């Protein structure tokens, strides 16, 4: 499975929801980058994504977007089992 990186802040309900979705899909590790602790990281996130809001989620090198984007990707109807992560969400992103 490709690595998951999420730009986040300490108090962010959308970040928490995105983490719940990813964990429900079997993701065991999410690299969290706290932009509220580092202006350099905030600037990097904005340069990479063109966005100022959190979360900003990357699957591998692919920018998925925010929580709403992740939810839309997850709801495309492709089945995903925790045990296999059988290409669902990841396939759509990696294509």
Give the residue extent of every domain in the chain: 4-94
Of the chain, the percentage scoring pLDDT greater than 70 comes to 80
Instruction: Report how far residue 92's alpha carbon sits from residue 16's, in angstroms, rounded to the nearest whole number.
Output: 22
CATH number for domain 4-94, candidates 2.30.22.10, 3.30.110.30, 3.40.30.10, 3.40.50.620: 3.40.30.10
pLDDT at 91: 54
> Do the Cβ atoms of 21 and 74 come closer than 8 Å?
yes
Place of tokens 């962010």: 12
Instruction: Report how far residue 83's alpha carbon sits from residue 88's, in angstroms, rounded to the nearest whole number.
Output: 12
pLDDT tens profile 3-37 = 999 999 999 999 999 999 999 999 999 999 999 99
The mean of the pLDDT values for the chain is: 86
Instruction: Report how far residue 81's alpha carbon sits from residue 67's, in angstroms, rounded to the nearest whole number.
Output: 20
pLDDT at 37: 97
pLDDT at 92: 56
pTM for this model (two decimals): 0.81
């Amino acid at each position: 499975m490709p690595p998951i990186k999420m730009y986040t802040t300490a108090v962010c309900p959308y970040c928490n929801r995105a983490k719940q979705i990813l964990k429900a899909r079997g993701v065991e590790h999410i690299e969290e980058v706290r932009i509220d602790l580092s202006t350099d990281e905030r600037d990097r996130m904005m340069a990479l994504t063109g966005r100022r809001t959190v979360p900003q989620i990357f699957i591998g090198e692919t920018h998925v977007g925010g929580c709403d984007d992740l939810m839309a990707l997850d709801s495309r109807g492709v089945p995903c089992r925790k045990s296999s992560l059988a290409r669902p969400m990841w396939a759509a992103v990696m294509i």
